[in-house]
Amino acid sequence: MNKSVFLKVCSAFMVGGQIAKIGDIVEVNETDAKDLLHRGKAILATAADVPGSEQDAEIPEQEAADAEQPDGDEPTKPAGKGKKGK
């Protein structure tokens, strides 16, 4: 069974009966992907290029804010009350 691979088109070619134009993101099987990559027709698409993957890669704002907050297990020190060297 061949895996599918997402590619970013560098030079137009036919895929699935349609013309893939420069800048398009296409999904092809692994065998076709190797051929297209070898011939310089496409490059591997990044996660940001693949439709629908951006939502999965982002951390929701509330979770990011919670990650930056102390969890309450560590004692907090008042600001400006540190020791000074003698």
Task: Answer yes or no: are the C-beta atoms of 9 and 49 closer than 8 Å.
Answer: no
Buried b (16+ CB within 10 A) or exposed e, 44-53: ebeeebeeee
Of the candidates 46, 47, 35, the residue with the CA atom closest to the CA atom of residue 11: 35
The residues spanned by each domain of the chain are 1-47
- pLDDT computed for residue 72 by the predictor: 55
Is the pTM higher than 0.75? The answer reads no
Task: Answer yes or no: are the C-beta atoms of 5 and 44 closer than 8 Å.
Answer: yes
pLDDT digits (tens, 9 = 90+) for 31-86: 999 999 999 999 999 988 887 765 544 444 444 444 454 555 555 555 665 566 55
